[in-house]
Every structure is written in structure tokens, then in C-alpha cells.
Structure 1
Amino acid sequence: MIRISIDAMGGDHGPGVVIPALVKVATRRPEIRFVIYGREEAVRPELAKYQKLAEKSEFIHSEVAVKMDDKPSQALRHGRGKSSMWMAIDAVKSGTSEACVSAGNTGALMAMSKFCLRTMATIDRPAIAAIWPTLRGESVVLDVGATIGADAHQLVDFAILGTGMARSVFGMERPTVGLLNVGVEEVKGQEEVKDAGRMLREANMASLDYRGFVEGDDIGKGTVDVVVTEGFSGNIALKTAEGTARQIAGYLRAAMSRTLMARIGYIFAKGAFDRLREKMDVGRANGGVFLGLNGIVVKSHGGADADGFAAAVELAYDMVRNRLLDRIEADLDLFHARNPRPRNDDGTRRESDAEADEEN
């Protein structure tokens, strides 16, 4: 039995989407049990519609619901200990649940997750990883928004985190890894990226196959299984891809409805268009994973429908079942034992790392 804690108040739709999503998951994954957190007046009426789900779930009332536009500091100050988001995360810390899923405010969720669960011993800053549809199948891309800017050591850590996720979710023994850069030539790019590439080549890790630099178009091609970058460029790439998918879908709808012959042609090609729509559906790959924490937290898209939120829950389930944290910790311990992080004379972390944590 795997227990997953659910923030039912998060997202644009709250319990109206979250509860039907859990019904879908419970049907496909009968071994999952849910611990649902939210306001009783909002959750109980939805839960009452699905008796079987209610029987395999525990509901706990929370006084506060974090708003989508709350600042992280504000959410942490007012929601700590009593919001549905905090309580769902704290359940992972206490061992009541093995993973947490929320569609709530991303900044607030990250702030609370870091404060409550803390980062792993060798991790300076966590990353958000996304599953990216590609021509070859799917890839892991990180960081897509948690860390703005990253030094070489942090990029290497991201590579190890993403590799652990690919091994857990895709069942790969040795995923291929690439660093996102402005060109594939070794002389191009920022010094941090070039240094990270050198470190990954020299590490020669058994758990990952470093393939060098990749460019933006390589993400969609599926050139590598794990694409590593820092959060600023990663988030722009993610939002650009989502916008392009919607743009192409809009073009197709307009073209197929323009003339009578186009509408007739659509009828004959409907099967192909349905497959294309499925490939381009952002909800299929819904679920940003907070990696580098002492616990599994999955962020669903705020506007996700029931199918999208269900996908995020099942992603959390897969990572628990395949022991994601154990894989990551083993890989991190091995790498850092062979490649000690630069320290000050007194044993403290470098000033740049301490400042980064302070800013966050």
C-alpha cells in the first residue's frame, strides 16, 4: 500500500477537479490510499459523491487554503502548520504519506517544501523536473523554474537528480544526459556549463551516460533522456513549448473548419488528428517534480483537468514504487565521495552557495 497526501484546495478548480481525479487513480491503482487535506465545507460534498473513494481515503480538515496569487513568504507565514498545502507536505515528513501532490501556488509549494522537508545533504538548491514529450517518446528536463542561475556543481547535481527520475519513471538502467547550451561545440557557452560538462565527462558515472551539449531543438527530438539547464532558461523553454503546442492546435482547428472540403477531409483524417492531439496534450505529461528534497513532492498544473491531476498523482506513485529517493541518494553519495565540493578553510560552503540559499 502506498499513501499519497493530497492538497485538495490547490489549483484553479480545487476539490471539483481533485476528487474526480482521485477516483480515476483509485480505479487504476487500487493499492493507493489517499490522505486528503482541505476545508471541510468544500471537500466533504465532493467526497460524498464517491463512496468507494471515501472508503479508501482519510480526510483531514485544514483551516487555511493558500491562494494562487499569494507570495511564497506570505503563504509560509500564514499557512505554516494549518494550510492544506503545508499539512500535505508535513505528512511526507512525518511518514504518514510517501508523497505529496498539489496543484497550488508553485512558489508557495516550493517554499513550504524546502522549509518542511529540507534539501538532501549534498544538494544546495532543489530543481523542478518535467516530463517532456519528444519524437522518441519522453525525456526529463530540469530545472524548469526552481533555481535562477546555477554553478557547475549545481548543474551536475541536477544531472544526477534527473537521471534518478528517468531511471525510476522510465525504467532505464543508464539514461543519456545532455547539458542545454547555445551550441554543441565544447568552446561555446557559459563557463559554468562548460565546467559542468567537464565534470560529468571525468566522473564517468555508471548510472548515467553523458553525451555532451545539446541545443534547444534537441529537447523535442529526444536526443537525450535527460536535459539539464538552470531554471531561467528551462522555464522559458517549457512555456514556449506549451504555447507552440496551443498555437499549432489553433492553426489546425482554423484550417479544418475553413471550407466544406476541409471539414470533409477532417472526418476522414480524424483518427490521425486524435493521435496528434494526444501527443500534444500538455496534461498527459502533467506533474512537475521537486527533486533534491528529503521527500517526494509533485506539482500539478494549476489549470489541469481531472485527467491531468490524475497523471500527476500516478507520477508520484511511480516514483515511490520505484524508490526514487534511494536511487538519487546512492548516486549523490558516490559522486560527492569522489568529487568533494569546494569549501572554505573553516569547512563551510563557499560564499556564493550560502548567498544563493539566503536569496531563496
Structure 2
Amino acid sequence: MADLIKIAVDAMGGDNSPKKVIDGIIHNHKKNKGNFFKIFGDKNKIISLLKDEIESQHYEIIHTENLVLSTDSPLEAAKKGKDTSMWLAIESVKNKEADIVISAGNTGALLVIAKLNLKMIQDIDKPALSALWPNKNGMSVVLDLGANIECSSKNLFDFSIMGASLYTSLYPDKKPNIGLLNIGSEELKGNETIKETFKILSNKKSENYDFAGYIEGNQIMDGEINVIISDGFTGNIALKTAEGTANFIVKELKKAMTGSFIGKISSVLNFYNLKKFKNRLDPRLYNGAIFLGLDSPVVKSHGGTDFIGFSNSLDVCNKIVKGNLIEKIKHNI
């Protein structure tokens, strides 16, 4: 157990929980025996779902019937007390009983409860919500995706350092290439905060990353830049637009391929390519957003994902701990 990655899991957060969460844990354990799961939630429900699928030395259940609802405001969630599954899971990381915490529950509540329990990394003013984003060459790290509506140039510079550290933790063989999301690629474009951040990043050379300048929204998928920096307002809109576009394309393609006899014949002939295309746009593959800036790693799984998506977010947890993310951020800051 000493060599296992200890993951604190809020089993009660998100749609169809705890079944989705426990099924995700079981699915992940079949692929990777390197994790130990501290599972927080209703013990009776959790045991009935585990069904001896995982060896007892790979998990521990901490019982609580109190939970944070998706309809709770962050303040309401915090007022529910220190015995909710979300609070207890975060507290276990605070007490060094776990290496990382994950929840598919209420995003606002998770951020507030995490900030109440965990300290910020020294010299970091605001945490950022970061996630993986597919591109032509693999994956990009994008932040902030909604934690901070307004940001200073110092905040955006901090996000750059944290995003580069996350990318290195997840992909140790690749060098981060940072870009600032902007309305144009010319140096004079954008608001004063963006332009000031551009100057800071241009002047602060680092061996840990390269700075590529500005990137426009239509270049995010090109893969030339793999760490994309934005304030939370812009980043969240970009994310939701991309998700909506991907869903639209998949639905329209399915309609075209099943709406007529010729379409059905074409779909049979191109089954392998169509399946490959659909899998490339499957949001479950990129599940697992990370709150960066806290002195312990906190991962947010999408509340609406299924057990496959949750299992993939557990892979992200494993890589973050193995990649020494927090130490990398502290060193680079």
C-alpha cells in the first residue's frame, strides 16, 4: 500500500452517484492496480455496488450520509457541515491521508470547500480551473475555464506557470508551448490585461516552457500551442462553444448516415473511420478538470459523465500525483 497512489473519492457527487462513481473505480482498477481509493459516502450503498470487485487492500470506505447536492449554492454546501462526503474527502488530503481528491459534485461548492480547507501555493493569488482539450497533435491544457471571471496580468502569468507545470506532469516527454487566447495574433490586439501579460511572458524566459504569443479561438485545435491561457469568462465560453459544436457535428453526422438508404450503406462501408471520428470527439476521454493553485491537487469530474468518464478522470489523478504537479508549480513559481 505504501507505493499506491491514495485517491480520496467523493462517491456521492454528480448524476447517478454513487453507482457511476463506484463503477468507474471498478473499471479503473481492472486497468491499473496502482491506486488506493479512500471512498467517502453511504457505506451500505457503496458496499452493495462494489460486490467484491476490488481487493480489500485497495480501498477504504468512510461512512457519511450527508452530501452536497447539485442544487446547493457554495455557501449552502459549506454550511452543511464538515461531515459531507465532499468535505471529508477534501479534508483527508489536507491531513495528508490522501494524495489527491476527486469529486463529480457541485463545482462551486467544491472550489469553496477546497479553499476553506487547503492553503494557496505561496505567491499564487487565485486558483484556476484547468482541463484537457483535444488538438490535431494530441492534447492541450486550457485554463482558466470558469473559476475567475476577472483576472489581472499577474493572475494570467501565474496561470501560465501552473498550466505549463500541469502539462509537464501529464506529458513529461513534451515541452509546454504557451499561448494567450486573444481576438487576434497581432501584438497590439486585445485589452490592456492581455497586452501586459504578453509583455511579462515575453520578457521572462524560462527553460520550462516556450512562449508562442497570442492564439485565436480558431487555432486552438491546431496543436501548435499546447498550453492555452485565458481568464475564466473567455475560457468558459470557448469550452462550452467547443462542446456544443462537437455534439452538433456528431448528431448531424449520425442523422446524415442513418436518414437514407445511401447514407446507411455509406455508414456501413465507413464504419471503422466513423467510429474513430466519434471516439476522437468523445468528451469522456478528456474528463477531469483540475483546480490549480491550491497546495494539494483537487480534480473535478464532469457531473454528467458516465463511469467510463469517471474512470478516465481517475487516470488523470494518478498521473498528476506521479508527475509531482504541486512540487513542479512551487519550483517554477
TM-score (normalised: structure 1): 0.90
Q: Report the counterpart of residue 13 of structure 1 in structure 2.
A: 16
CA contact (8 A) 1:166 1:172 kept: no
Shift of 1:309: 0.2
Q: Indicate the SS of the match to 1:236.
A: helix
Q: Distance in 1 between matches of 2:230 and 2:70?
A: 26
Q: Report the counterpart of residue 261 of structure 1 in structure 2.
A: 262
Alignment of 1:262-341 (within 5 A): 262-332=263-333
Q: Report the counterpart of residue 125 of structure 2 in structure 1.
A: 124
- CA change 1:188–1:69 in 2 (3 A) is same
Q: Report the counterpart of residue 39 of structure 1 in structure 2.
A: 42
Q: Does 1:139 align with 2:143?
A: no
Q: Distance in 2 between matches of 1:306 and 1:114?
A: 27
Q: Distance in 2 between matches of 1:67 and 1:252?
A: 36
Equivalent residue letter for 1:45: S
Equivalent residue letter for 1:63: E
CA contact (8 A) 1:135 1:220 kept: yes
1:12-53 CA distance string (max 9 Å, x none): 111111111111111222121100000223322212x23425
Runs (5+) with no aligned partner, structure 2: none
Runs of 4+ more than 4 Å apart = none
Q: Report the counterpart of residue 76 of structure 1 in structure 2.
A: 78
Q: Indicate the SS of the match to 2:80.
A: helix
Q: Distance in 2 between matches of 1:265 and 1:246?
A: 21
TM-score (normalised: structure 2): 0.97
Equivalent residue letter for 1:75: A
CA contact (8 A) 1:18 1:309 kept: yes
CA contact (8 A) 1:173 1:207 kept: no
Q: Distance in 2 between matches of 1:302 and 1:265?
A: 35
Q: Distance in 1 between matches of 2:216 and 2:236?
A: 15
**Which of 56, 64, 76 matches 2:66?**
64
Stretch moving more, 169-178 or 205-214: 169-178
Shift of 1:54: 4.4
Q: Report the counterpart of residue 197 of structure 1 in structure 2.
A: 198
Percentage identity across paired residues of the two chains: 37
CA contact (8 A) 1:23 1:50 kept: no
CA contact (8 A) 1:67 1:105 kept: yes
Q: Distance in 2 between matches of 1:51 and 1:187?
A: 58
**Which of 2, 6, 10 matches 1:3?**
6
Stretch moving more, 260-269 or 36-45: 36-45
Q: Distance in 2 between matches of 1:293 and 1:55?
A: 29
CA contact (8 A) 2:122 2:330 kept: no
Q: Report the counterpart of residue 52 of structure 1 in structure 2.
A: 54
Shift of 1:174: 3.0
Shift of 1:178: 0.3
Shift of 1:119: 1.2
Equivalent residue letter for 2:238: A
Shift of 1:63: 3.2
CA contact (8 A) 1:22 1:53 kept: no
Q: Indicate the SS of the match to 1:34.
A: strand
Shift of 1:151: 0.5
Stretch moving more, 36-45 or 161-170: 36-45
Equivalent residue letter for 2:276: R
Q: Distance in 2 between matches of 1:216 and 1:125?
A: 24
For the aligned residues, what is the CA RMSD? 1.1
Aligned length: 330
1:247-288 CA distance string (max 9 Å, x none): 001101110111112101101100000000110001100011
Equivalent residue letter for 2:20: V
Runs (5+) with no aligned partner, structure 1: 333-360
CA contact (8 A) 2:26 2:53 kept: no
Alignment of 1:143-182 (within 5 A): 143-172=144-173, 174-182=175-183
1:301-347 CA distance string (max 9 Å, x none): 00111110011111011010111111110000xxxxxxxxxxxxxxx
